[in-house]
Amino acid sequence: MKVRQLTREDWNDISKLRFRDGKGEIIDVKIFDIGVEKYNYPVAILYKKGDSYLSGLRSIEGYMLADSIRECDIVIEEPEEVNYEEIVKELMVNNAFLSEHGKMWYGVKYIDPPFGFFATLNDEKYKLNLIKNFYISFDLKTFYTFNEYLELRRKQWVNN
């Protein structure tokens, strides 16, 4: 997931909002259609931290108005766009084994980005985005779904 600064429309769905520090749950919001001091469209929030219910005032971008503590900023999480071509290339370079629907295990033979395809060693061709339907293994002992592989990949990227 990637985190980004808020826009006015983001406040319409509080289920996607979270505190940058990960602490607290946003219960309700109210956007004011006026300016308060130097701030346009401030947002009043009701939130829960631990056993306490609290309120606060934020800018439309999610920043605290009364304080500049950045850890308390409110942000929105969005799923990252998956670059299927990059992932298939990565799996090819790492000699990964792929399986679909319990078939035998195959590697990636070649990639044809202009046409959006890849082929396995048995010459079956698939659209690049269909890599998400495969099981992935590097040793034929440990098997990953596509989402598990993305999480593993994300963790390795963070550690490097």
pLDDT 10s digits, 13-57: 888 888 877 788 899 999 988 766 667 788 889 999 889 998 888
Domain boundaries, the chain: 2-78, 84-159
Other residues' Cβ atoms within 10 Å of the Cβ of residue 29: 17
Q: From its phi and psi, is residue 9 left (phi > 0), alpha (psi between -120 and 50) or beta?
A: alpha
Side chain identity, residue 68:
S
pTM above 0.75, yes or no: no
Q: What is the mean pLDDT of residues 122-134?
A: 93
Return the structure tokens found at 116: 């959006």
Output 56 or 110, whichever has higher pLDDT.
Answer: 110
Q: From its phi and psi, is residue 42 left (phi > 0), alpha (psi between -120 and 50) or beta?
A: beta
CA gap 19, 108 in Å, rounded: 41
